[in-house]
Structure 1
Amino acid sequence: MLKEERLNYIINQINIHNKVLSADLSVQLNVSEDTVRRDLNELTDSGQIIKVHGGAISKSFHYPFSEKEVYKKDAKKEIARKAIELIEDGMVILVGGGTTMIELARMIPESLHCTFFTISPLVALELAENPSLDVNLIAGKLSSNSQTLVGAQVINQLSEIEPDICFLGTNGVSLKNGITDSDWEVVQVKKAMIKSAAETVILSISEKLDSSQKMKVCSLDAITYLITDIDPGGGNLEKYRKKVKLL
């Protein structure tokens, strides 16, 4: 594979999954980890990604309010629009982090009066702009990679609430492996969020379908709805219908 092809592949994987690991890229691209590190350095120097220990992350994690940095923004707005349909007045709602959750927070109408809990300071700031919402930011250690709060303190607090519904993003969705991620601490928090909620909704751009990361959050049986940016009656989603409700 030519260098330009490698760089394009890396950017595409970061855009889709938000984070990539050097070891995984080495296998996928069939090159040494030294070559991957040089590629990541070049992409970082050109301002296209942010290099972190063991890999790289999307710039949208660090610059979520910069419209030009958000990958598939229109698709994420469509997902958020569908998710709003599940929210009812008076609900207690738990939300994760990420750019799709920020779009969801921005779209909640002032006619809805709900209580929100979130592990994302960035999502909390967006929710706080809506005067009809009671917003609670769960305290914990801030992960620089995910821009969400993680750790035992977060998990303990999650065990003390019983939200009506939980909205979560994901790095991978597949029939075989379910909902997956690449960050161990994030996985533990997501498990606790799912356990606390009466219903769980996964929000995912369609490009993440049929993809898996190294760490499992839960099986598809553990979630209630899967919301993507494509028609729920489309062929790509039909095989998921027996496991989850589609929007």
Structure 2
Amino acid sequence: MLAKERLLYIIKRLQAQPSISVADLCKELQVSKSTIQRDLKILEDEGKISRERGGAVQKNLDEIMSDLTEIPVIEKVDIHAEEKKAICREAAKVVKDGDLIFLDSGTTPLYLIPYIQNKKIKIVTNCYLTLARLQGCDAQIYMLGGLYIPKYEVCSGPSTIEQLKQFRFDHAFIGANGIDLELGEVYSSEFEIGALKKAVMKRSKDSYLLVDDSKFSLAGICTFGYFSEFTHIYVNDFPKNEKRSKNIIICK
């Protein structure tokens, strides 16, 4: 597990309960005591928690900073791979020969490619990782240009949105940096990327949100959509104590 993932895990655990011990974190994360103590010091220095003897307690957990939750996309490709495969295997069933689809940036939509690569379709994307994975497939591919954002391997901005206006998608497969299960909000960590996602959804007959359960209750600086705006929301799991809307599909 990456260091940023451990920090995020600790934050989420302290959202669920007021305090946690070093011993419990060592057991759950399968790392040494010194590693956990180092992680707790980082979070304390950033003002996110308070350390106490043998553990940590809640502090300023209303916001999860984007620099903590967002790891460069290339480092996240293999994280939660089985969950992403299950989500995309189910989502791919809506794609038929002749469709024009949009594949969003992020790592989850990448896992859709093996399930659609032999279909006679047209694919539009703004993500260079997606473009690389599409090499050799049967689809006709359109790559959108614009302002290049290296951290996410994408093009975005006003010129990218202007190019989108040429297309009318049958299906748009959208990723997210976080969702709020209670409010039904869907988040992006960048305003420009969030604006592009909004524009894509407006240009698509059907929009599908692809998120694994690690994104539940993660905040972002930009709300780009709401659960009700998606035809389906594909997830690998869903909390039993949360109200589940009819468009949420659990994929196993």
Matches within 5 A, 1:1-16: 8-10=6-8
**Maintained 8 Å contact 2:104/2:173:** yes
Residue 217 in structure 1 maps to residue 224 in structure 2: yes
Query: TM-score, normalised to structure 1's length?
Result: 0.71
Q: 2:142 matched to 1:136?
A: yes
Which structure has the bigger radius of gyration?
Answer: 2
Q: Report the counterpart of residue 176 of structure 2 in structure 1.
A: 170
For the pair 1:240 / 2:244, whether they are aligned, the reply is yes
1:75-114 equivalence runs, <5 A: 75-110=83-118, 112-114=119-121
CA contact (8 A) 2:8 2:69 kept: no
Distance 1:30-1:121 versus aligned 2 partners, 3 A rule: same
State how far apart, in whole Å, the 2-side matches of 1:140 and 1:182 are: 18
Q: Percent identity?
A: 19
2:128 paired residue among 92, 113, 121: 121
Letter in 2 for 1:86: V
Contact 2:117–2:134 (Cα < 8 Å) also in 1: no
Rounded to whole Å, the distance in 2 between the matches of 1:74 and 1:177 is 25
Return the match for 1:62 from 74, 78, 81: 74
Cα RMSD over matched residues?
3.1
Alpha-carbon contact 2:125-2:142 (below 8 Å) kept: yes
Code of the residue aligned with 1:142 in structure 2: it is Y
Match of 2:48 in 1: 28
The separation in 2 between residues aligned to 1:10 and 1:173, in whole angstroms, is 15
Letter in 1 for 2:123: F
- 3-state secondary structure, aligned to 1:216: strand
Give the SS at the match of 2:134. Answer: helix
Corresponding letter in the other structure for 2:243: K
Shift of 1:125: 1.9
Deviations 1:97-127 (A, max 9, x none): 12212211133251x2100000111102212
Q: Distance in 2 between matches of 1:12 and 1:183?
A: 24
1:82 aligns to what SS in structure 2? helix
In the TM superposition, residue 89 of structure 1 has moved relative to its aligned partner by 1.3
Distance 1:113 1:148 in 2: 25
Helix, strand or coil: the match of 2:150?
Answer: coil
Contact 2:7 2:68 in 1 (8 A): no
Counterpart amino acid of residue 98 in structure 1: G
Q: Residue by residue, what CA displacement relative to the aligned partner does 1:154-177 show, whole Å, maximum 9, x if unpaired?
A: 010112211001001101122415
